[in-house]
Amino acid sequence: MKNESISFIVYDAIGKILRTGICPKSVLQVQATGPTEFVIEGEADDAVDKIEIEEFDDKGKPIKVKIKKKTPEEIEAERPPEIPEAEKQAHITKGQYEDLLKRIAELESRTNG
């Protein structure tokens, strides 16, 4: 009998989706690799979805969960901060850097001379 592949979602105790993927059904439970990770069968997009934990067992393991959409406020709160243009790194070659220094020196000699 062929082992069927399924989609899975690994999440933490507050319902944050940590990763998703596809695996054989027989190895679903090993997708949760630590004591604070849990796994369910299903599909989700961590950018817009979350896991809502409705019930825990007596050992603190989620036993009743739902995949829910995040609110616009939750999505906005997770958005990385915008880096101001002045603080962004520039990637230039050594030749471009040397040309820039040469042009700056030429400009300085015109204004000082």
Whether 91 maps to a domain, the answer reads no
Counted domains in the chain: 1
Whether 88 maps to a domain, the answer reads no
51 near 40, Cβ under 8 Å? yes
The confidence band for 85, taking pLDDT boundaries of 50, 70 and 90, is: confident
The confidence band for 2, taking pLDDT boundaries of 50, 70 and 90, is: low
Whether 17 maps to a domain, the answer reads yes
Query: Does residue 7 register a pLDDT over 80?
Result: yes
CA angle 85, 90, 91 (to 5 degrees): 155
Predicted TM-score of the model (pTM)? 0.68
